Amino acid sequence: MKKPNVFLAASAVVLLAASPALTEDLRIFGWANEMPDEVLADFEGETGITVTFDTFDSNESMIAKLDAGATGYDLVNPSQYAVQILISRGKIAELDHSKIDTYDKIGASFRDVSYDPGNKYSIPYVWGTTGLAYNKSCVDEPITSWKALFDEKYKGRIYMLDNMLAAYIAGLQVNGFSANTSDPAEVEKATETLIAQKPLLAGYNSTNFADLVSSGEACIVESWSSSVLQAIKDNPDVVYVLPEEGGTMWIDGYSILADAPNPDAAYKFLSYILRPEVAAKTTELTQTATVVPESKGLLPEDLANNPAVFPDEATIANADFILDLGDAMKFYQDGWTKVKAAR
């Protein structure tokens, strides 16, 4: 009795494993929470393509994984500096813009990004800023500068993002340097500033800092714009600002891998997500701005006019872009080790 059952089970497994080959597949390696389930499900419903969505937790671990030979993905979802690294390592393919029929929906300012001139290798999709958030109930005056993060007054109620590049944005810009410097002397100065700041900090936190600033446990936190939006909605005392020193802007986009098994499905997906109604849905569900300006008209008023989601042009123009620092990355890593080890 036993043997036929085993045989049946084995053949069922084989059949299950073989069946996806009959339908079209698209495999994406991306950030969690930046691409809503609904959009993926709608795309599957419309095209009949089955989407597999694997997630990573940082650009660095994604690059390491692809470098070590993880293959089989069609699309990857890198941030701006990661695009440069992937290009230099030959991991992503040059795009054929004629295959993306909604390419002209991309806003003018995102057509020719500095990290990938002419968008040859990547299609920008969602973007946001790195600035600071504070709770109005515990400050006397509006906060407009990184200097607040280094102010004795708020000792013990300040959090910095637990992320090397993010922490250096504040450390460099407060000294008047570019957040994208590769000058070792400037990085050194920023390192000293960050070490001097440490006694004032309640901690480094990049997970629930929005909650902490909303509950009033934290007064001022360095923050990613998208992370703090829900807290702003729940608590009108929470304010997000891009500091006068500039802050930074980030873009997460999509690139097709050089060894993608199904680039056609990848192009279909890119064409789909750039449709204004799909981009609007993405913004509504993830509270993150997309590169499709037309989608703004389809959004609820309060979201479209929220300066934390859509800062005005002048504010954005002032922001730095974190790009691939190449060999200068070492100065940051050495400095960051010192900062983390300092008391």
Which is nearest to 123 in space by CA: 59, 78, 159? 78
Q: What is the dihedral of CA 83, 86, 90, 95, to 10 degrees?
A: -30
How far apart are CB 106 and another protein at their closest, in Å? 23
CA distance 286 to 31: 12
Decide whether 70 or 196 has the Cβ nearer to another protein.
Answer: 70
Residues that bind another protein (CB under 8 A): 27, 31-34, 37, 41, 52-58, 61, 65, 68-73, 206-208, 210-212, 214-215, 217, 226-227, 230-231, 233-234
Cβ proximity of 244 and 254 under 8 Å: no
H or E element at residue 141: none
Considering the complex, state which of residue 216 and residue 293 has its C-beta at the smaller distance from another protein.
Answer: 216
Residue 69 vs 176, nearer CB to another protein:
69
Q: At closest approach, how far in Å is the CB of 56 from another protein? A: 6
**Minimum CB–partner distance for residue 309 and another protein (Å):** 14
Q: Which residues of 73-84 are buried (b: 16+ CB within 10 A; e: fewer)?
A: bbbbbbbbbbbb
- Going from the C-alpha of 278 to that of each of 100, 122, 319, the distances in angstroms are 15, 19, 27
The pair of structure tokens assigned to 322 is: 């974190």
| Min separation Cβ 101 and another protein, Å | 27
Query: Closest approach of Cβ 25 to another protein, in Å?
Result: 9
Residue closer to another protein (CB basis): 62 or 174: 62
Nearer to another protein, 186 or 252 (CB): 252
What is the closest distance, in whole angstroms, from the C-beta atom of residue 166 to another protein in the complex?
12
Please name the residues in contact with 289: beta carbons below 8 A apart, sequence gap of 6 or more. Answer: 126, 127, 128, 283, 309, 310
What is the rounded CA–CA span in Å between residue 322 and residue 232? 26
CB nearer to another protein: give 188 or 211. Answer: 211
